[in-house]
Every structure is written in C-alpha cells, then in structure tokens.
Amino acid sequence: MLTLTSRKGTFQIEAVRDTTIVTLAKTHNIPWGYACERGICAQCRTRVVEGAECLNEVTEAEKLRLRKAERAEGYRLGCQIQVTAPGNITLVHSPY
Ligand code: FES
C-alpha cells in the first residue's frame, strides 16, 4: 500500500512498480508539485516516512539536487522515486 500525503490530504493507492511517484500522483489526481520531472526543480520534494526499502536507490539527479543532510533525513524527489518491492510506503510531499 502506498500512502501519499499532500496539501489536499492523505490518499492510499496501489503501488505500481517502476513508475514514479509524480506519475502515480498524476494518475490519481493527487496534487504533487512538479515541473521538470528530471530532478532539477525540486517542486516534487518528498519525505519518505516509511518503506524506503521498497523504493529504488537514490538517483544521481537527487544527489545533485538535494543536500546530503536532506537525504539523510529521508528527503527525495517524487519524480525520481520508484516503487521496486511490495510493502507499506508512506510519503509526504514536502516542497521548500
Ligand atoms: S519534478 Fe522537477 S525535480 Fe521532480
């Protein structure tokens, strides 16, 4: 189960492997800021609350865009996050 919290509330949706969180949010009409979908604008900044082990590795784009301290606190980019394994995943949209 994938739980997404944005400014419009909390939504539970089915996780789809190898699909980005921004794409999943769009598919379900969940507001999740984005502009570039290439790891540059950070409008999709997301905090991983639960289920990091079910997600892909942090991408090079995220390493370039986010500070190491942010990444250590669980911040990633929604356009870079993909679900890779089943499990409970909880993400919060956390733009700057
Ligand atoms: S949409 Fe621009 S960094 Fe994710």
Domain positions in the chain are 2-93
Q: Measured from the CB, is residue 81 less than 6 Å from ligand 1?
A: no
Ligand 1 centroid to 86 CA: how many Å?
24
Q: What is each CA distance from 10 to 32, 37, 39, 53, 80, in whole angstroms?
A: 12, 22, 24, 21, 20
pLDDT at 86: 92
Please state the rounded mean pLDDT for residues 5-18: 94
The pLDDT tens digits of the residues spanning 39-95 come to 999 999 999 999 999 999 999 999 999 999 999 999 999 999 999 999 999 999 999
With bands split at pLDDT 50, 70 and 90, how would you rate the model's confidence at 13? very high
First to last CA, the chain: 26
pLDDT band at 32 (very low <50, low <70, confident <90, very high): very high
CATH superfamily, with its number, for domain 2-93: Beta-grasp domain (3.10.20.30)
Q: For residue 94, what pLDDT is reported?
A: 98
- Per DSSP, the three-state class of 64 is helix
Inter-residue contact 89 to 11 (CB < 8 Å): no
What's the token pair of residue 19?
């699909």
Please report which confidence band the pLDDT of residue 25 belongs to, taking 50, 70 and 90 as the band edges.
very high
Q: Is 79 in the pocket of ligand 1 (CB under 6 A)?
A: yes
